[in-house]
Amino acid sequence: MTDKQKLEDKIMNEIKSDKLKPRSKYIFLAEKLGVGSAFVFSLVLAILFFNLFLFYLKASDNLEYLNFGGAGLLAFLESFPYLLVISFILFLFLAGYLTTKSDISYKKPFGYLMIALVLFVIVSGGILAYTDISERIEEGVYNPDSASSLLKPFLGGCLENRGSGIAGIIFEVEENYLIIQTPTGLQGISLEEATLPPSQKFVVGQFIVAVGERKDKGFLAQKVRILDEDESPMVRRGIHRHFEGEEGKGCMRECEHSEECFKECTGH
77-91, 98-112, 209-223, 236-250: least confidently modelled range: 98-112
Cβ-contact 223, 211 below 8 angstroms: yes
pLDDT beyond 60 at 69: yes
- Give the tens place of pLDDT for each residue, 92-132: 989 888 887 766 555 566 677 788 888 999 999 989 888 88
User: In this prediction, what percent of the chain has a pLDDT beyond 90?
Assistant: 44
CA distance 105 to 93: 14
- What average pLDDT does range 215-228 have in this prediction? 90
Q: Give residue-wise pLDDT tens across range 181-199.
A: 999 999 999 999 999 888 8
178, 191 Cβ separation under 8 angstroms:
yes
- Residue of higher predicted confidence among 94 and 27: 94
As a whole number of angstroms, the distance between CA 118 and CA 141 comes to 27
Phi first, then psi, for residue 39 (nearest 5°) are: -65, -50
Task: Look up the pTM and report it.
Answer: 0.76
Q: How confident is the model at residue 179 (pLDDT cuts 50, 70, 90)?
A: very high
Q: What pLDDT, in 10s, does the model give residues 141-162? A: 888 788 888 888 888 777 788 8
Looking at every residue in the chain, the average pLDDT score rounds to: 80
Cα gap 212→193, rounded to integer Å: 9
Predicted pLDDT of residue 4: 57
Is the domain 161-266 a CATH 3.40.50.720 member?
A: no
**Is the distance from CB of 143 to CB of 155 less than 8 angstroms?**
no
Domain ranges, ordered by start, for the chain: 25-157, 161-266
Could you give the CA distance from residue 221 to residue 219 in angstroms, rounded to a whole number? 6
Among candidate residues 171, 264, 182, 170, the one with its CA nearest the CA of residue 224: 170
Taking the C-alpha atoms of residue 13 and residue 251, their distance in angstroms, rounded to an integer, is 83
